[in-house]
């Protein structure tokens, strides 16, 4: 095939469109409102490991804007302004993420429902997985999956034990290493490959240090009410019982920026429309983001995103 042509076959692109239709029916049946939010915003999710594309503008146009790494901030502003159940199919952009399972520009499905807690959020994602993948996911806590494959308790093990476990498995450490570096490494190279490939799995209760925008578990401050869906060794979705405490988010965003500085990455503004919305009052809710290209890839048994996207990065 010449490189001007799509890298995915027409058969795959047709199946992809069917999955889209099926996904929209799923949300419509449940009374979710489909919404749209801007891609070029003044603020962006503050995360140590998410690098937004920064779009420079003239000073009189406001300096710069961020291509959204997810529609999270804008959708939560809608929740604070009265939305009850919303979903969106959009493009998300993440700088530097490119590989077999990564494309810097990708399709994301994100939804929120007011009143849902961790269990309800997981149940909703499980129903969606059942509809689109034809299988109900198995559930396991992050710590249990970690203990089963690595043989170490990720919540209790001292730093030295984790760093040594990472080192013997090929981690090339440095003095800047943090606990999450070893956890992420062991998770990505030991835990995920050991998950059963034939059944989707929902992992929940991530370590509190990886809470991102999830609230901590009320009965166990070591873990966050965060869950992820995996299938065929690929991370498909990430969900939270949402953090609603503005002060806590300000504290986490500042700490994320501090860690970004240490790693030589530019900070992302802590002041944001979201923070304003949270100060106003964000209703309790659960929200999930799903990588649609990866879902298509695993649903069709394909090995790379290029097989399920018309024009991946190198053809865009």
Partner 1 sequence: MTGRSIAAERHGGASTPVFPDVRGLATIGAARGGTFVPLGRTDRTSSELTWNWENDTVAVYKTSEFRKGLKVQIDGEPYLMIEMNFVKPGKGNALYKCKLRNLIRNTVIDRTYKGGDSLEAADVEETEAQFLYRQGDTFVFMDSKTFEQYELSADQVGDNWKYLKDGMVCNMVLFNGNPITVTPPNHVILKVEYCEPGAKGDTATNVTKPVKVETGAEFPAPIFINMGDLIKIDTRTGEYVERVKN
Instruction: For residue 110, state whether it binds partner 1 (rule: CB under 8 A).
Output: no
**Residues in Cβ contact with 23 at an 8 Å cutoff, skipping those fewer than 6 apart:** 89, 109, 128, 131, 132, 292
111 near 78, Cβ under 8 Å? no
314 near 304, Cβ under 8 Å? no
Residue 126 main-chain phi, psi, to 5 deg: -65, -40
Q: Looking at the DSSP assignment, which residues form a beta bridge with residue 202? A: 139, 229
Measured torsion, CA atoms of residues 133, 49, 91, 310, in degrees rounded to the nearest 10: -70
CB of 269 to partner 1, least distance (A): 6
CB of 34 to partner 1, least distance (A): 23
CB of 163 to partner 1, least distance (A): 13
Candidate segments 110-118, 147-155, 264-272, 305-313, binder of partner 1 by CB under 8 A: 264-272
Instruction: For residue 5, state whether it binds partner 1 (rule: CB under 8 A).
Output: no
Instruction: For residue 54, state whether it binds partner 1 (rule: CB under 8 A).
Output: yes
Instruction: For residue 31, state whether it binds partner 1 (rule: CB under 8 A).
Output: no
Choose among 69, 75, 74: nearest CA to 52.
Answer: 69
**Which residues, numbered 174-233, are part of the site for partner 1 (CB under 8 A)?**
174, 180-181, 184-185, 187-189, 210, 212, 228
Candidate segments 113-121, 153-161, 242-250, 258-266, binder of partner 1 by CB under 8 A: 258-266
β-pairing, 33-34 vs 216-217, is: unpaired
Helix 10-29 and helix 118-133: axis angle, to 10°? Answer: 140
Of the candidates 9, 22, 63, 303, which one interacts with partner 1 according to CB under 8 A?
A: 63
**Site residues, partner 1 (CB under 8 A):** 42, 47-51, 54, 56, 59, 62-64, 96-102, 169-172, 174, 180-181, 184-185, 187-189, 210, 212, 228, 235, 238, 261, 263-269, 289, 291
């Amino acid at each position: 095939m010449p490189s001007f042509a799509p890298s995915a076959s027409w058969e795959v692109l047709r199946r992809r469109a069917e999955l889209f239709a099926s996904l929209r029916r799923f949300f419509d049946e449940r009374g979710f409102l489909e919404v749209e939010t801007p891609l070029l915003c003044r603020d962006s999710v503050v995360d140590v490991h998410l690098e937004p594309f920064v779009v420079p503008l003239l000073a009189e146009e406001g300096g710069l804007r961020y291509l959204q790494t997810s529609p999270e901030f804008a959708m939560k502003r809608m929740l604070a302004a009265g939305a009850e159940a919303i979903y969106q199919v959009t493009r998300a952009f993440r700088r530097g993420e490119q590989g077999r399972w990564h494309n810097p520009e990708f399709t994301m499905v994100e939804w929120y429902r007011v009143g849902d807690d961790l269990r309800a959020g997981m149940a909703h994602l499980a129903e969606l997985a059942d509809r689109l993948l034809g299988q109900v996911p198995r559930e396991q806590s992050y710590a249990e999956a970690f203990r089963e494959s690595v043989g170490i308790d990720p919540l209790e093990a001292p730093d030295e034990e984790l760093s040594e476990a990472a080192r013997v498995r090929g981690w090339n450490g440095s003095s800047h290493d943090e606990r999450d570096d070893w956890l992420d490494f062991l998770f990505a190279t030991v835990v995920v490959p050991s998950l059963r490939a034939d059944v989707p799995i929902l992992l929940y209760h991530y370590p509190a240090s990886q809470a991102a925008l999830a609230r901590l578990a009320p009965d166990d401050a070591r873990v966050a009410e965060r869950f992820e869906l995996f299938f065929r060794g690929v991370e498909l979705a990430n969900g939270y019982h949402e953090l609603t405490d503005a002060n806590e988010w300000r504290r986490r965003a500042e700490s994320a920026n501090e860690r970004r500085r240490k790693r030589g990455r530019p900070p992302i503004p802590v002041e944001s429309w979201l923070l304003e919305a949270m100060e106003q009052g964000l209703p309790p809710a659960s929200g999930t983001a799903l990588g649609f290209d990866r879902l298509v890839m695993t649903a069709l048994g394909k090995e790379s995103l290029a097989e399920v996207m018309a024009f991946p990065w190198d053809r865009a």
